């Protein structure tokens, strides 16, 4: 596996592959790689001749007072995991390669960027959309891979790719979980043992929501209430637990068709998110 630092070097490395009509898969990451990232890399490996993993902690998607400085960084460990999972290239650019002096452009995806995470973290998705647009232009992959845990992010990226006519296929892969159901996240590293036990509240809330719909509940307030009650024994209060249309993120009053249940909560120093998709026509999860 090659470690590449500059955009020019990345394009030079991929040009002959593209000329030979070899397909390229991109897995964008902020490092602190775990089994969830591994699953994305392995999926890309199974579908492409060349796999590029980007490693860049993007400052523009962190708000004031967020954990940019504390965000876990271990390039050696990340490189080892990426190589083991099948990456051919680790693209780990310094800040000035991504945001050179005088950089003044922002990509904003209206509508999908404002609710849920966007309301809690103003400007977050502008940072995400901008850096992903740049990474797609830098690597020009055939497909790029993201996790379902970040469901709103995936919707934002799909929309920007469509609206800006970027010729790439966006692949959203299932959330990878711990045995007790906690979604894997780089921020899980912040959790002390007691906090780790409480963090399972997010999965328990989603379990309760799914069970309520499977039992016939359709009123969104009732379904959300079941999720909130499931979190109470863990002393975890959600920042939001919302039922929204899975394609537009518009709030829903009634569970019909595909509905995204999006959830965020702070456990100790970690802010965690999770989600599930309900399908009432399938009697619960699709």
What is the per-residue pLDDT for 280? 77
Contact indicator for 88, 51 with CB cutoff of 8 Å: yes
Instruction: Give the active site residue among 34, 37, 48, 108.
Output: 37
Which DSSP symbol is given to 123? T
What is the per-residue pLDDT for 282? 52
- Return the domain boundaries, the chain: 2-173, 186-277
pLDDT tens, the chain, 286 aa long: 999 999 999 999 999 999 999 999 999 999 999 999 999 999 999 999 999 999 999 999 999 999 999 999 999 999 999 999 999 999 999 999 999 999 999 999 999 999 999 999 999 999 999 999 999 999 999 999 999 999 999 999 999 999 999 999 999 999 999 999 999 999 999 999 999 999 999 999 999 999 999 999 999 999 999 999 999 999 999 999 999 999 999 999 999 999 999 999 999 999 999 999 998 775 444 3
What is the per-residue pLDDT for 284? 43
Rounded to 10 degrees, what is the CA torsion of 15, 129, 250, 175? 60
Indicate if 37 belongs to the active site. Answer: yes
* Cα separations in angstroms, 74 against 30, 31, 80, 208, 211: 11, 7, 10, 36, 39
Fold of 186-277: 3.30.1300
Tell me, yes or no, if the pTM score tops 0.75: yes
Q: Which residues pair with 242 in a beta bridge?
A: 262
Domain 2-173 sits in CATH 3.40.50.620: yes
29's enclosing H/E stretch is strand 24-29
């Amino acid at each position: 596996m090659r470690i590449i630092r500059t955009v020019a070097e990345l394009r030079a490395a991929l040009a002959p592959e593209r000329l030979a009509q070899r397909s390229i898969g991109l897995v964008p990451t902020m490092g602190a790689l775990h089994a969830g990232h591994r699953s994305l890399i392995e999926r890309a490996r199974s579908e492409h001749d060349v796999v590029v993993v980007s490693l860049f902690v993007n400052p523009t998607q962190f708000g004031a007072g967020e954990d940019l400085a504390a965000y876990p960084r271990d390039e050696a460990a990340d490189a080892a995991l990426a190589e083991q999972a099948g990456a051919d290239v680790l693209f780990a650019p310094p800040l000035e390669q991504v945001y050179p002096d005088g950089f003044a452009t922002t990509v904003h995806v209206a509508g999908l960027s404002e609710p849920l995470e966007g309301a809690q973290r103003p400007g977050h998705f502008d940072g995400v959309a901008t850096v992903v647009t740049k990474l797609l232009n830098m690597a020009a992959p055939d497909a790029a891979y993201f996790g379902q845990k970040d469901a709103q992010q995936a919707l934002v990226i799909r929309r920007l790719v469509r609206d800006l006519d970027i010729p790439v296929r966006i692949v959203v892969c299932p959330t990878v979980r711990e045995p007790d159901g906690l979604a894997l996240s780089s921020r899980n590293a912040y959790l002390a043992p007691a906090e780790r036990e409480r963090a399972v509240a997010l999965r328990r809330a989603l379990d309760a929501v799914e069970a309520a719909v499977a039992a016939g509940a359709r009123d969104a307030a009732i379904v959300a209430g079941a999720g909130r009650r499931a979190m109470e024994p863990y002393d975890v209060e959600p920042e939001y637990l919302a039922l929204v249309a899975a394609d537009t993120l518009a709030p829903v009053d009634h569970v019909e068709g595909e509905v995204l249940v999006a959830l965020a909560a702070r456990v100790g120093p970690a802010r965690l998110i999770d989600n599930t998709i309900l399908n009432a026509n399938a009697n619960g999860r699709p």
